[in-house]
Amino acid sequence: MLGPVQFKLLKQIWKGQKVIREGPSRAIFWVVLKRGNQCIEYGLDSDPIHNSRVACLPFVQKGIIQLWKTEGEVPPRSLLNTTKNTPSTISVLDQGAAIVRDGLSSTHLELRLKGEKLQGVWVVAKQKDSKLWTFVRIDGTQWP
């Protein structure tokens, strides 16, 4: 996915506790990049508007473009809410244009976000010798 794309920053909350691999949680933040009918989603452990470095996981699921289109209540036992009985809500925190820098590997992505709240140059990178990924704001002075 190269060149200009759209992005959304979403917050998904559960009315009860949701257990994810890292432990119990009531919320997950999503950065969704969209170009045409293609989406790349990154699940974040905290809000990047208030944190310049957050842990993240990339998600590649067939049909997940539904996340781009969803706002409001998400029923349990669905693609975007796999809990058995816990209701979930998705809200848009920010959206705007994004520029993705080309020539990068599948474990490193640089992008400039141009939202109302989420702005600047960010790097999504897999940590060396680890399954962990980070979403980090960097100095964008070297960017075109």
Partners of residue 94 on adjacent β-strands: 9
Q: What is the dihedral of CA 46, 76, 38, 58, to 10 degrees?
A: 40
Look up the pTM and report it: 0.83
Q: Measured in whole angstroms, how far is the alpha carbon of residue 91 from the centre of its chain? A: 13
Dist. CA 109–CA 102, nearest whole Å: 8
**Alpha-helical regions (H) of the chain:** 65-69
Residues 89-138 have pLDDT tens digits of: 899 999 999 988 865 567 888 899 999 999 999 999 988 888 889 999 99
Spans of all domains in the chain = 3-138
Residues 31-64 have pLDDT tens digits of: 998 888 788 888 899 999 999 999 998 876 544 5
